[in-house]
Amino acid sequence: MSEFSPLTEREFASPLQLERLLSELQIEYLGVDDQRLYVIFAETVLEVCVRSGTVETAQTLTIAIVEESKRSDTDPETIVANFLQRLEDAATPE
């Protein structure tokens, strides 16, 4: 599926509509197929693979760093954690 080593895997309590959430958060992405997206977050390119569901019903995600930001000294784990937190915050109704 992926040529990049996953940095983390996350299971969400309820399914995410990834493309809708990313659009709402104004995060750039490129859909590859119904289980994979490339996302630009904090000047870092992430590969987001859906392990359970599809991009419209994502329950479990794996995230790999494809290309790190050349201008940021934030470690990759923090960037991925921040990305996942933004998704969770946007998906959780207030």
Residue linked to tokens 């309590």: 13
Q: Give the model confidence (pLDDT) of 21-42 as tens digits.
A: 999 999 999 999 999 999 999 9
Q: Which domain holds residue 23?
A: 8-91
Query: Both ends of the chain: CA-CA distance in Å?
Result: 35
> What is residue 1's predicted lDDT score, i.e. its pLDDT?
45
Q: How many domains, the chain?
A: 1
| 3 token code pair | 């040529």
Strand order from edge to edge, sheet including 28-33: 8-16, 58-67, 44-52, 36-41, 28-33
pLDDT of residue 5: 58
- Per the CB < 8 A criterion, the answer to whether 67 and 45 are in contact is yes
Over 90: is that where the pLDDT of 74 sits? no
CATH of residue 59: 3.30.310
Query: 79 exposed, middle or buried (CB, 10 Å; 0-12, 13-18, 19+)?
Result: buried
In a domain? residue 74: yes
